[in-house]
Amino acid sequence: MVDMKTFRSILVAVAVATLATLVRAAADEPQNFTYDPKPTGQMVDSKIVYMAGESMHSQWRAVTSKKLVGTNSGTNFYQWYLSIYAIEDTTYKLFYQSPANGGPLEKVEKAGPMWFPLQSVQVVGAADLMESDKPQVEQLVVTSHEAGADCGATTVTVFTEDAGKVHPAVSLLNSCSLTATIKLSDRSNSDAPDTLALTGPYYGPNAALCCPTKPKVTAVLSYKNGHWIQTPEYFSMFLGKFPSLR
């Protein structure tokens, strides 16, 4: 049982840390920043991530956008984009874009009267998942879904930065659906990195898409001593690359 005095101290510490984060972000980022080049199509989301460590003017931004490629029978088909930018003065410079530079998204192509694959992409957030000698280095966590005639597949990708190059550190693939939730480490008691909770249906070796072996399971993805560990090993894991969906 936590006494009232200790509880108030915890609330004050959390409030101060939150305020400091907000003030830092507002002070570090130019008020009227631009993108070079601009995100393709209609911007859907934009989030800050400190991929090279937390310092003055070191923001990166992950931007999702989509562009209409065709319409059939009242259905709109979009090419989705994931763009990763780094700040330079008052301009965010593009360092990585999917599908132009690779996964997790593929190029949408016309197949008869329609366009495939059907896509979506979402930025889960930034997390301190990997051990680093730099202060507060974050990785970018993204989920993407692509489908054809069936429920398709979902990929969770952890992006990292190394010497100005953006690349996947690890990707996890699952049929139909897979969600990722960032679990923050308790920095007051440990220097352990954050972890990811991965939730989705589990398909055994011979399971059909209609009938998962277990309808809902959760695995934890962690990084220890230079290795990615998934516990239990429910979902397909790919180190340093994207899984092929075709």
Q: Tell me: pLDDT of 11 over 60.
A: no
CA distances from 159 to 9, 28, 90, 93, 145 (A): 36, 23, 24, 17, 17
Beta-sheet strands, E only, within 50-106: 60-72, 75-88, 91-98
pLDDT, residue 131, reads 79
Query: Could you state, in order of their start, the residue ranges of all structural domains in the chain?
Result: 33-239
* Distance separating alpha carbons of residues 27 and 5, to the nearest angstrom: 33
* Distance separating alpha carbons of residues 5 and 214, to the nearest angstrom: 45
pLDDT digits (tens, 9 = 90+) for 39-83: 999 999 999 999 988 765 689 999 999 999 999 999 999 999 999
Are 120 and 161 a contacting pair, CB within 8 Å? no
Mean pLDDT in residue range 137-163: 95
Task: Give Cβ neighbours of residue 25 (< 8 Å, ≥ 6 apart).
Answer: 48, 59
The structure's pTM equals 0.86
CA distances from 45 to 12, 28, 62, 124, 190 (A): 31, 20, 8, 11, 32
Which helix (H) or strand (E) segment holds residue 216: the answer is strand 214-224
pLDDT digits (tens, 9 = 90+) for 74-124: 999 999 999 999 999 999 999 999 999 999 999 999 999 999 999 999 999
Vertex 117: Cα angle to 111 and 121 (nearest 5): 155
pLDDT, residue 163, reads 85
* Distance separating alpha carbons of residues 72 and 63, to the nearest angstrom: 27
